[in-house]
Amino acid sequence: DAGVIQSPRHEVTEMGQEVTLRCKPISGHDYLFWYRQTMMRGLELLIYFNNNVPIDDSGMPEDRFSAKMPNASFSTLKIQPSEPRDSAVYFCASSLALRGGRPYFGPGTRLTVL
């Protein structure tokens, strides 16, 4: 299995632009997570899905952030409009809905908003 796939790996954009991050979870995994990592705040959960349904989005910082999972093999995290404080590494992770199923992380997308 190729593991969790994220694209792009690096994104540099200007303030105000729309940014879309993409994730393909491991086939057969029921849960998908979006995390953001910064030096100041560490690794934070933004939102997670179970069977393509958003379960908890309380970590999404504000309305500029939105996430979708139209099917079991694809999810997007969109920031519109982007701001410099959104600069971070965004990780997608997926896991099985089994007792103790641990998340497998993708390689991350490093976002820089100028």
Partner 1 sequence: EDKVVQSPLSLVVHEGDTVTLNCSYEVTNFRSLLWYKQEKKAPTFLFMLTSSGIEKKSGRLSSILDKKELFSILNITATQTGDSAIYLCAVEAYNAGNMLTFGGGTRLMVKP
Distance (Å, rounded) from C-alpha 82 to C-alpha 78? 9
Distance (Å, rounded) from C-alpha 29 to C-alpha 20? 22
* φ/ψ (deg, to 5) at 80: -150, 115
Which string of x and - marks every residue 28-67 that binds partner 1 (by CB under 8 A)? Answer: ---x-x--------xxxx--x-x----xx-----------
**Residue 25 makes contact with partner 1 by CB under 8 A:** no
**Residue 105 makes contact with partner 1 by CB under 8 A:** yes
**Residue 100 makes contact with partner 1 by CB under 8 A:** yes
Distance (Å, rounded) from C-alpha 102 to C-alpha 94? 8
**Residue 8 makes contact with partner 1 by CB under 8 A:** no
* φ/ψ (deg, to 5) at 78: -115, 140
Q: Provide the binding-site residues for partner 1, judged by CB under 8 A.
A: 31, 33, 42-45, 48, 50, 55-56, 91, 95-97, 99-108
